[in-house]
A and B are shown apart, each in its own frame.
Chain A
Amino acid sequence: MRPIPVVKPKDLAETLRYLEEGGKPIAGGTDILVAIRKGLEKPPFLVYIGELSELRVLEEKEEGIEVGAALTHLELLSHRGTERLPILRQALRTIGSPAIRATGTIGGNVVTASPAGDSLVALYLLEAQVRLVSQAGERMLPIHEFITGPRKTALKSGEIVRSIFLPYPEGEPLSFFRKVGRRRALVIAVASLGALVWSKNGRVEKARLALGSVAPTILRPREVEEALVGRPVSPEAWEDLVPVLSAATNPISDLRASAEYRRKVAGRLLLALAQTLQTMA
């Protein structure tokens, strides 16, 4: 591979100048270097942001944590600050292999905006906010507005993801994350399901579900979330929601799995969730 031009700015201000000139950020490089190699991306030059101190802080706030975009999955997994967000840890733990987790960043996962992005399932469940900065100023977008389609985001040219705000959920929801894939490590799930479920006396009070790889973006099946309220926590009591969930999905067929198979897996994951909750309660 011919070396691609890359600069290493010393701070955020210099970074934003380079981005205005048309540079494209590289953090861990685990997505963009593959894309460049495959000819899918041809940036004029790269701006290495992986070690910028402004993007590498984790701030613990009253209502949640604000994580710097250039923190790696491994750093987030081992940081005390993510302890109160088990759903985040459960999702990050399934990413790639140890080398990928030690290299890839949460900012990179968000901007790649893959329908299979594992951190994204947790971010949709937590209703995370993405903090963007450019020379023009700063703005915040909810994750589901930041991601606009498969591998598409609302990021404007000259803009960078500085951090992601993850609010602590109210109360004590149980959290669940499961990914079904062809191989245990490495790339892309066939389907994944994450959930936060608040329950009392064996009944669901509130539920948030998020599915990966079964739609153009991460999917929050609201109709299923609503239908779960008041139901007993048991697979039998959820059986009739399996087709509802399958119908909510809009998967593609690809090398890894057919659309039909993905739909089926999504349904099975719902029952696996019920089963797991039953044993946890």
Chain B
Amino acid sequence: MNDAPLLTARGLSKHYGPRIGCEAVSFDLYEGEVLAVVGESGSGKSTLLKLLATETPPTAGSVHYRMRDGAVRDLFALTEAERRFLLRTDWGFVRQDAREGLRMSVSAGGNVGERLMAVGERHYGRIRGTAIDWLGRVEIDGDRIDDLPRDFSGGMRQRLQIARNLVTHPRLVFMDEPTSGLDVSVQARLLDLLRGLVAELGLAVIIVTHDLAVARLLSHRIMVMRHGRVIETGLTDQVLDDPSEAYTQLLVSSVLAA
């Protein structure tokens, strides 16, 4: 495993006019590391994720990323072609609302196959075979391959979204509240599945969640955000079992409903 960080954020800020999205966020992320970003609604978690995934430009600060060839690149200075390459192959983005992460008018198999075609795979049989394999890995029956995600339950859609994202073997996956809005039992199964896949594939993950139980189960490290700033960070079980900031103690004591 390479000992240089995969991703380095420094002084990352985003202002929406006079409003602060996030402010002066700095951290390093290493290969295989799962970082949870927690905090109540409006604390800037999604804004941070959008900045890191280059979906929106920062007001200040930088993000550097180590490409597959080892070169470290400034993410906001990439060409559009380089950026697209990252988004389609080296990264995944699992969204809370599966409708934003899937193509709802394309079959389940098509949703998975599309990402493969984006990396140059052209052989129909192989694409279909890989799609069936990945549907199986996320516990979707192969005989649903030609069905539309529209006909899937919430939990199944989320699992399909995960398959679509992981099929290209990305090194880094962004997740924004991937289990929110699902029934508790469906959540538990999805978390189980995510945990297994993340460990098996050695993925680096930045997962935004307001649910500390999700953070505890999936992440190695936590950043607590409040009013756009990171107020506490550390090993996940340390932050949750021995929180030092007043706000983190409040979050952990679950006085705050997010």
- The answer to whether A and B come from one shared complex is no
